[in-house]
Chains A and B, each alone.
Chain A
Amino acid sequence: MPKQSTLILIVVLLVSGILLTIPLLPKKFKTEILVSAAISLKDAITQIGNDFEKKHPEIQVYFNFASSGQLRIQIENGAPVDIFISASPMEMELLEKKGCILASSKVDLVKNRLVFIKNKNLQFKITKLEELIKFYDLKIAIGNPATVPAGRYAQQALKFYQIWEKIENRLILGENVRQVLDYVARGEVDAGFVYVTDTIKESQIEILLSIPEEAHKTIVYPMAIIKTSRFMSVAQDFVLFAADEKKFVWQQFGFQCD
């Protein structure tokens, strides 16, 4: 009976419609900007955001944290983002090619270093990465090079010293750099490759070596304004603030600024 079916449909649409229009949160009348930032930058960028709000009380800074790849997909599909800070130059380039970012606004915000760490309770030392081949039973974790930027840099370094083939099959792949750090800290693996910034708050690990910068591509975090930003001048202010004025905050969290 079509009449009843339509009735059901109308009820369904009506109730959905009412629910759709209920505002969940009160509207704020401040200028709001949204910064999509790689989740590895969370602590430092949140502090910078708070400082920016203190300096400009009329502006509210919101952050969106995920992996750089996920943030890129959101921006490509029209997410209302004002600024993008990527942990991977590749994702930024992809957006630039698609014309999503304001090319003139692109800056290299900070740099990071790759380090080789071990569990605190383990007793062994190396002075060069090449010596790794001597430790046959060492379990080493790296981020999956296919998806994790830190893993990609580690792979480049291991290839640079021509030991990738020799130790490739005893590597344990983590789904993100945090997982690698946790594996080492909990002693599930003996050693691993992470960023120096990851090691700051972790007491269960020890840095064995800093990987020389020439062994891999520069680890850089590019930042750019999204073309569709509705508050271009505020976004520009924030970029300058984060890149120039707040260098000491980045350094406090272990990042390097030029």
Chain B
Amino acid sequence: MDESSLHSIRLSLQVALISTVLVTIIGCTTAYFLATRKFRGKTVCEILIALPLIMPPTITGYYLVMIFGKNTLLGKILYDWTGCVIMFSWFAAVIASFVVSFPLMVKVSQAAIESIDKSLIDSAYILGYSEWETAVKIVLPLAKKGILSGVILSFARAIGEFGATLMLAGNIPGKTSTMPLAIYTFAASGEWYKAHGMVAILTVLSGVFLYLALSLSEKEGKS
């Protein structure tokens, strides 16, 4: 395997890892509030979060480019204030992975939190727990398995992310070319044989993650 392929593997793992940490923290918090609160515009909120799950990734990428591009919205503010250009940086790949795996995390952990027996939460409040204590000591442990499979699925989705990454992070060998992008580049010039290593890694990783997610849900069924 050549140097740029090795770089792609390392980059993919780093991007997926950082994206998954962010998705876990922000996704869990979001799921908690969506599961426990009723507010105006909640449905709109849920639709917006779920959109990247069903939209073609290139369209998601197009929106991201419009938001984070130097000429538009957020990207311009960031550039004017800090001189940072998000587009074509490794962090752009994190953002793209985050946006497409966030809905998975929220959906799965929201369902897990909603399925908790309400009387347990009520008892916690009656016994004098604050909301923070209830959330951390009662809700999170009870929804642990759901959240964990959300984390696994998010990581798997993040490491395979292609369309939005291509648009926002670019396909720059040695810089932002993650495994899926590198495979696409090799395929485009008829060099499939150079991609075999990465194809194998992605296939094995996906299989392992699905196995983990499946075994989690089986355990949940038995208990």
Contact = CB atoms under 8 A, between A and B. Distances in A.
Interface in B170-192: 170-175, 185, 187-190
B26 A73 contact: no
Interface stretch (A63-71, A101-109, A158-166): A63-71
A1 B130 contact: yes
Given A24-B90, A62-B174, A66-B171, A178 B70 contact: no
Interface class of chain B by DSSP = helix
Contact of A64 (B62, B88, B189, B190): B88
Contacts of A80: 70, 85, 87-88
Interface stretch (B17-25, B40-48, B150-158, B209-217): B17-25
Interface centre among B66, B131, B189 (most CB of A within 10 A): B189
Nearest to A80: B85
B18 A64 contact: no
Interface of B: 11, 14, 18, 21-22, 25-26, 29, 58, 62, 65-66, 69-72, 75-76, 79, 85, 87-88, 90-91, 130-132, 135, 166-167, 170-175, 185, 187-190
The number of chain A residues touching the other chain, given as a range, is: 35 or more
Interface string A42-62: 110000000000000000001
A43 B87 contact: no
Interface of A: 1, 4, 7-9, 11-12, 15-16, 19-20, 22, 24-25, 34, 36, 39-40, 42-43, 62-66, 70, 73-74, 76-81, 176, 178, 181, 201-202
Given A66-B171, A77-B65, A19 B189 contact: no
Contact of A19 (B21, B69, B173): B21
Nearest to B176: A64
Interface centre among B26, B135, B172 (most CB of A within 10 A): B172
A178 B190 contact: yes
B171 A78 contact: no
A16 to B, nearest CB: 6
Question: Which 4 pairs across A and B sit closest by C-beta, in order of nearness?
Answer: A78-B70, A77-B69, A4-B132, A78-B71
A133 to B, nearest CB: 31
Contact of B167 (A8, A24, A73): A73
